[in-house]
DNA sequence: TTAAAATATACCAAATTGGGATATTTAAAT
DNA sequence: ATTTAAATATCCCAATTTGGTATATTTTAA
């Protein structure tokens, strides 16, 4: 997951992200450390929040944007 | 999930796909009916197997290929 | 060098998962 | 049309995984 990198590039804290996504700070932390995995719905929420493709979020491509 | 559509377009059965992915036919069935969700690893396996992006697999884009 | 903000970890109940077995549906052959 | 086989869906259940609360640790800034 490229989550930490993306989040930091936007300059927001785990807590703010968590609140915006209706979840907890520790949940975000776990995603970032890789201790837990988000389900598909959470994955989509995160990708939409940052406006990046899921493939980018999961480090499967270099290009952040979603193709039309 | 666009799994059923993709799988059928390749003309393979749930059973063959399941065996190729080291899982069970019923697991594939559940993904296709939406009764269960694959985790990230399974998602990646499926996308790689069919050579499509995860965003396409999850119906977030019209374009099947992964961008470089 | 403290105080506050940010991030990580422990514990736990609840939800979710995959597998084996089986039922149901669909397709093919006769 | 009927039978048979192939394909797909569902039941039950043990085991894994999840998110939340609370707390600890680390980082930042004053």
Please write the tens of the pLDDT for every residue from A21-36. 999 999 999 999 999 9
Q: Which two tokens stand for residue B39?
A: 């985790």
Q: Pick from B32, B60, B2: which is nearest to A55 by CA? A: B60
Q: Which two tokens stand for residue B63?
A: 């374009």
Q: Residues of chain B with pLDDT > 90: what percent?
A: 94
- Check whether residue B29 has its CB closer than 7 Å to nucleic acid strand C: no
The set of residues, in sequence order, having a beta carbon less than 8 Å from that of A31 and lying 6+ positions away, is: A1, A3, A37, A38, A42, A46
Q: Which two tokens stand for residue A17?
A: 């992200």
Mean pLDDT computed over B19-30 = 97
In this complex, which residue's CA is closest to the C1' atom of nucleotide C6? A13
A56 CA vs D4 C1’ separation (Å): 49
d(CA A59, CA B44): 11
Which among B39, B44, B68 has the least Cβ separation from residue A62?
A: B68
Q: Which two tokens stand for residue B65?
A: 């290929």
């Amino acid at each position: 997951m490229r989550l930490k990198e993306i989040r930091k590039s936007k300059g927001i804290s785990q807590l703010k992200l968590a609140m915006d996504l209706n979840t907890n700070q520790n949940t975000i932390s776990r995603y970032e450390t890789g201790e837990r995995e988000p389900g598909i719905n959470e994955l989509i929420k995160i990708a939409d929040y940052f406006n990046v493709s899921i493939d980018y979020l999961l480090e499967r491509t270099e290009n952040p944007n979603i193709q039309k």
